[in-house]
Structure 1
Amino acid sequence: MHYVDAKSILSLKNGMNLYRGCTHGCIYCDSRSDVYGMNHEFEDVEVKRNSLELLKRELLKRPKSMIGTGSMTDPYIPLEKHLEYVRNSLKLIYKYGFGFTCITKSDLILKDLDLLKKINEKSKVVVQMTLTTADDELCAILEPNVCSTSRRVEVLKALNDAGIPTVVWLCPILPYINDTEENINGILDRCIESNVYGIICFGMGLTLRRGNREYFYSKLDEHFPSLKERYIRKYANSYSITSPNSEKLMGIFTKRTSGEGILNNPSEIFDYLSEFPQKSYQSTLTFK
Structure 2
Amino acid sequence: MHYVTAKHILSAQNGINVYRGCTHGCIYCDSRSTCYQMDHAFEDVAVKANAAELLEDALRRKRRRCMIGTGAMCDPYLPLEKTERLTRRCLEVIDRHGFGVSVLTKSDLILRDLSLLQSINAKARTVVCTTLTTFDEELCRVLEPNVCSTRKRFEMLRTMHEAGIATGVWLCPILPFLNDTEENLRGLLGYCFDAGVSVIVNFGMGVTLRDGDRQYFYRKLDEHFPGMKERYIRAFGSRYSCPSPRHRELTRILQTECRARGVICGAEEAMAYLMRFEDRSAGEQLSLF
Please name the residue that 2:83 is paired with: 82
Deviation of 1:18 after TM superposition, in Å, equals: 0.3
SS of 1:173's partner is coil
Match in the other structure for 1:240: 241
**1:58-137 alignment, distance < 5 Å:** 58-62=58-62, 63-137=64-138
Counterpart position of 1:216: 217
How many Å separate the matches in 2 of 1:227 and 1:266?
29
Matched, 1:258 2:259: yes
- Matched length: 281
Letter in 2 for 1:231: Y
CA distance in 1, matches of 2:49, 2:154: 32
Determine the structure 1 residue equivalent to 2:52.
52
- Could you tell me how far 1:280 is from its partner in structure 2? 2.0
Structure 1: which 5+ residue stretches go unaligned?
282-288
Q: CA deviation at 1:198?
A: 0.7
Deviation at 1:102, TM superposition (A): 1.1
User: TM-score, normalization: structure 1?
Assistant: 0.96
Q: 1:142 matched to which residue of 2?
A: 143
One-letter amino acid of the structure 2 residue matched with residue 121 of structure 1:
A
Amino acid in structure 1 at the alignment position of 2:112: K
1:154 partnered with 2:139: no
2:17 maps to what in 1?
Answer: 17
Partners of 2:208 and 2:241 within 8 A in 1: yes
Q: Name the structure 2 match of 1:286.
A: none
Distance 1:143 1:202 in 2: 20
- Matched AA of 1:70: G
Distance in 1 of aligned mates of 2:71 and 2:4: 19
Write out per-residue CA displacement over residues 32-68 of structure 1, whole angstroms, 9 at most, x where no aligned residue.
Answer: 0000000110000001111111111111001211111
- Which runs of structure 1 show a deviation greater than 3 angstroms over 4 or more consecutive aligned residues? none
**Contact 2:49/2:86, CA 8 A, preserved across alignment:** no
Q: Percent identity of the aligned residues?
A: 55
Match of 1:284 in 2: none
Can you list the C-alpha shifts for 1:198-251, whole angstroms capped at 9, x where unaligned? Answer: 101111100001000000001000110000001111111000000001111111
Q: Distance in 1 between matches of 2:127 and 2:281?
A: 18
Measured after TM superposition, the shift of residue 153 of structure 1 is: 0.5
Give the deviation of 1:3 after TM superposition. Answer: 1.0
Distance 1:209 1:139 in 2: 22
Matched to 1:179, the amino acid is: D
Structure 2 length as normaliser, TM-score?
Answer: 0.96
Summarize deviations over 1:115-155 as a string: whole Å, max 9, x none: 00111011100011100011111110000001000000000
Check if 1:4 corresponds to 2:4. Answer: yes
Q: What amino acid does structure 2 have at the position aligned with 1:185?
A: R
Q: Output the amino acid matched with 1:67.
A: I
Q: Provide the rounded CA distance (Å) in 1 between the counterparts of 2:182 and 2:130.
A: 21
Aligned equivalents of 1:216, 1:128: Cα separation in 2 = 24
Amino acid at match of 2:50: N
Query: CA separation in 2, counterparts of 1:162 and 1:64?
Result: 24
Letter in 2 for 1:51: A
2:131–2:171 Cα contact (<8 Å) kept: yes
Match of 1:171 in 2: 172
| 2:199 paired with 1:198 | yes
* Contact persistence 2:221–2:228 (CA under 8 A): yes
Q: 2:34 — aligned with what?
A: 34
1:97 deviation in Å?
A: 0.5
Return 5+ residue gaps in structure 2 as ranges: 283-289
Q: Look up the match of 1:43.
A: 43
State how far apart, in whole Å, the 2-side matches of 1:278 and 1:124 are: 8
What letter is aligned with 2:36? Y
The alignment's C-alpha RMSD in Å is: 0.8
Distance 1:209 1:272 in 2: 28
State how far apart, in whole Å, the 1-side matches of 2:275 and 2:260 are.
Answer: 25
Instruction: Output the amino acid matched with 1:41.
Output: A
- Cα offset, 1:279, TM superposition: 2.3
Match of 1:230 in 2: 231
Amino acid at match of 2:15: G
